[in-house]
A and B are shown apart, each in its own frame.
Chain A
Amino acid sequence: MIEGELSRSVQRWCAGATGVTGAAKLSGGASQETWRFDITHPDGPIGAILRRSPKGYGAAPTRAAGLAAEAQLMQLAFEAGVPSPRVMHVLTPDEDLGTGFIMQRVEGETIARKILRDEEFAAARPHLARQIGGVLAGLHRLPQDKLPELRSRSATQEISEFERDYRSLNWPKPVFELALRWLRDHDPGPSVETTLVHGDFRNGNLIIGADGVRAVLDWELAHLGDPMEDLGWVCVNSWRFGEIDKPVGGFGSRVELFAGYEAAGRKVDPSRVKFWEVMGTLRWGIMCGGMMQRFREGPDHSMERAMIGRRASETEIDLLRLLAPRGG
């Protein structure tokens, strides 16, 4: 049982800890798992989260930064005052827990629909778009000399990569072709400035409380690139969960997002943001196709995976709304 290994681990690095209770798996694919548990401590229980690749699943997929990099980024963000959980411990091989890290558990909500509808978040909602701008500005300002080794991608390389992914699906989609052409025609070229890019900053990967953003999660797609990518991705319609007139995660307007970003002393390039929003919409559509592929080829033959293939058309209508809007 994982509680045995976790108990031995916490007693080594958490002064006064005597063991753990309540270990429960929150999510997990074949290669990566998230567990919650409480550290038993004389001052009261300490809420914690384990992110790990179980033994034998050390290699990260090509786009992923890897768990060690994720731990380092979260810790850097925490130290810089970007809402982030504190990293408590990075796993070592002799603990028999695989590779990964243990972090402080931040209470709050990640389920987008609840954040957008529940009374509990009503007071926070109107401020979230602007606040997210400030959080992204902080994130893009993390000191580059302290960052772990990360992949670096220009817009041009990203277009080619998505085109390759799309072609490998052998799934002819005229709307995706149109989007690929548009992206090539509107490629903004190298960014004047290269920064850390979170890569998956959106409604669903943020812990939100009644007071606003409490933590930024899921740094596994972090890389170096155009900071405007994060501003575009957070506006992709798929993360508005029905609140389609509020582009920033269903919370608020681009104007508020940009104001929050610029108030924190950084500059917005709205045409680049739009480019990355189109790119992001296509990216999610191609990912839907990839999940359908994995359903067909196994091992994940689940109904949920199959149905995600039927969500690619959502991104097609959103691409048309962006590239060929109808009047009125």
Chain B
Amino acid sequence: MQDEPTPIELTKAVADFLRNDITPLITGHQAFKLRVAINILDLVTRQLTQEEGRDASEVERLRALLGMDGSVTELNRALAERIAKGEVDLATPGLAEHLWATTMDKLAVDQPNYASYKRELSRGG
């Protein structure tokens, strides 16, 4: 077990420093790049916060859907192959719900301000 502060706390501290102390000092193209850098750190913080629990739910759904066990990567690969072969499709019970839940979890980390995501979130997640 590693010591604290946690990676989440450390990443957040760097992002806040760049946002609050450095942003006012920088202009032009470098300011644009700084914004990208802060966005990356914010994304990393969101992923570190959310990934563990949501991956566990994803694995659970995939096991039920595929009737097999494996890591989240292995199970995604297996699902991709079955869809490609036509063995699983939108008529398969649980597939649409699984893809929606997984995609919503991705957007919550990648692009929580994306308009399509916000619209779907307002439907109840």
- Interface segment among B6-14, B16-24, B49-57, B95-103: the answer is B95-103
Name the residue on B nearest A310 (C-beta). Answer: B110
Does A324 interact with chain B (Cβ within 8 Å)? yes
Residues of A within 8 A of B114 (CB): 314, 317
Decide yes or no: A172 and B76 within 8 Å by CB, A303-B33, A321-B116 being known contacts.
yes
Give the complex CA separation of A243 and B37 in angstroms. Answer: 26
Are the C-beta atoms of B100 and A326 separated by less than 8 Å? yes
1/0 contact string of A177-208 vs chain B (CB within 8 Å): 11011000000000000000000000000000
Main secondary structure of the interface of B (DSSP, over half): helix
Which of A237, A304, A314, A326 meets B107, CB within 8 Å? A314
A317–B107 touching, CB < 8 Å: yes
Select which of A172, A175, A180 is within 8 A of B99 by beta carbon: A175
Interface assignment of A263: CB less than 8 Å from any CB of chain B: no
A310 pairs with B36, CB closer than 8 A? no
Interface size of B by Cβ–Cβ distance < 8 Å?
34
**B33, chain A: closest CB distance, angstroms:** 7
Contact residues of A between 274 and 328, Cβ < 8 Å to B: 303-304, 306-307, 310-311, 313-314, 316-318, 320-321, 323-324, 326, 328
Q: Does A4 contact B (CB under 8 A)?
A: no
Select from chain A the residue with minimum beta-carbon distance to B105: A313
Contact check, A323 vs B40: say whether CB atoms are below 8 A apart. no
Residue A177 contacts which of B39, B84, B123 (CB distance < 8 angstroms)? B84
Q: How far is the CA of A328 from the CA of B114 in the complex (A)?
A: 19
Q: Known: A174-B76, A174-B79. Is A317-B116 also a contact (CB below 8 A)? A: yes
Supposing A244-B115, A303-B33, A321-B116 touch, asked if A172 and B110 sit within 8 A by C-beta, the answer is no
Query: Measuring CB to CB, which residues of chain A are less than 8 angstroms from any residue of chain B?
Result: 172-178, 180-181, 237, 240, 242-244, 303-304, 306-307, 310-311, 313-314, 316-318, 320-321, 323-324, 326, 328
